[in-house]
Amino acid sequence: MTPRSAPDRLLSVLAAFDHDHPALSLTDISRRAGLTLTTTHRLVGALTDWGALERDEDGVYHVGLRLWEVAALAPRGVALRQLALPYLEDLYEATHENVQLAVRDGADVVYIEWIAGRSSVGVHIRVGARWPLHATGVGLVLLAHCEPREQEEYCATPLAVFTPYTIAEPSALRRVLAEVRRTGVAVSSRQVTDDALSVAAPVCGPDGTVVAAVSVVVPQADAQVPALIPAVRLAALGISRALGWQPTVAPRSGAGYPSHR
């Protein structure tokens, strides 16, 4: 087995933390990172000194504020969220339903902003959450605007199924992606939960590359899709223009940012 490099070991310590494991003991980190306790102690100490991790009075470690400061510099993170927020708030005021903003990271959609409707359908979403691209409206938009080679690679992998309505066949997924490109919107019904429907539209960067997607999620039973589509498109258009996109530049496929997964 090839020895793990120092950066790999360091990153494995950080990767031990996720939404389901936000607080870990040293032993937990060692086990989840696949490192010896001695190595983990040394690396955790260095990360704590730098501020990437914080240790509470019970000896449990949490992600530190220093990482948040660094993450805030990511162009697809806080900066995009701040720029998009006025348009997301307008979409919320127009619908009073769940509003979401997401970007692609390899085979996943990552949610970077979410406004929860007061009495809207429950969703399994939070900022930082990941879902497979094919199972959500925003994910379908982002996948539809990937390069064709990336779409084929995705279709060649097993498609996770969450409900009886989740797209499970590559041929069906290809048809849906073609429809998203044709209409400019994605309508995803009951794919993650059997009571929700989402309408999503692409957000373009200055050169027309699709860099994000915005959506509204409503109860499937009484969804008024024709009324939702213009509102979602308007929000996506506003964010795109704020990013520097001009209507004369046609939206085009492409990762927009490097893929890491």
Span 88-94, average pLDDT? 94
Cα of 212 vs its chain's centroid, Å: 9
What architecture (CATH level 2) is domain 78-242? 2-Layer Sandwich (3.30)
CB contact at 8 A, 150 and 255: yes
pLDDT score at 125? 64
pLDDT value, residue 12: 93
Listed in sequence order, the residues at least 6 apart from 255 whose beta carbon sits closer than 8 Å to its beta carbon are 104, 146, 147, 150, 209
Residue 177 main-chain phi, psi, to 5 deg: -65, -40
Residue 60: count of CB within 10 angstroms of its CB: 14
For domain 6-70, give the fold.
Arc Repressor Mutant, subunit A (1.10.10)
> pLDDT digits over 192-248, tens only?
888 889 999 999 998 899 999 999 999 888 788 999 999 999 999 999 999 888 877
Specify the domain boundaries for CATH 3.30.450.40 within the chain: 78-242
Ranges of beta strands (E only) in 14-115 are 23-24, 53-55, 61-63, 98-105, 108-115
What's the pTM value of the predicted model, to 2 decimals? 0.72
Mean pLDDT to the nearest integer, 88-104: 93
> Is residue 218 within 8 Å of 197, Cβ to Cβ?
yes
Q: Give the number of other Cβ atoms within 10 Å of residue 26's Cβ.
A: 16
Q: Per residue in 122-145, pLDDT tens? A: 555 667 788 999 999 999 999 999
Q: Residue 259 and residue 109: Cα distance in Å, rounded?
A: 11
CB atoms within 10 A of CB 166: 17
In the predicted structure, residue 157 carries a pLDDT above the cut 90: yes
User: Do the bridges between strand 196-204 and strand 186-189 make them parallel or antiparallel, or are there none, so unpaired?
Assistant: antiparallel
Determine the Cα–Cα distance for residues 175 and 169; give it in Å rounded to an integer.
Answer: 10
- Look up residue 131 and give its two tokens: 């879902």
At residue 228, what is the residue type? L
Q: For residues 233 and 214, is the Cβ–Cβ distance under 8 A? A: no
For the ranges 53-67, 114-128, 170-184, 219-233, the maximum mean pLDDT occurs at 170-184
Mean of the per-residue pLDDT values for the chain? Answer: 87
How far apart are alpha carbons 23 and 52 in whole angstroms?
A: 13
Total Cβ atoms within 10 A of residue 191: 24
CA–CA distance from 101 to each of 92, 142, 212 (Å)? 12, 11, 7
Q: The dihedral of CA 183, 186, 187, 188: what is its sign?
A: positive
Question: In the chain, where does the domain assigned CATH 1.10.10.10 lie?
Answer: 6-70
**Minimum mean pLDDT range among 94-103, 113-122, 163-172, 190-199:** 113-122
Instruction: Quote the pLDDT of residue 36.
Output: 93
What pLDDT shows up at residue 258? 39
pLDDT of residue 75: 61
Provide the CA 177 distance to its chain's centre, in angstroms: 18
Tell whether the model's pLDDT for residue 120 goes beyond 80.
no
Q: Confidence class of residue 256 from pLDDT cuts 50, 70 and 90?
A: very low
Task: Tell me, rounded to whole angstroms, the distance of Cα 63 from its chain centroid.
Answer: 20
Maximum distance among all alpha carbons in the chain?
60
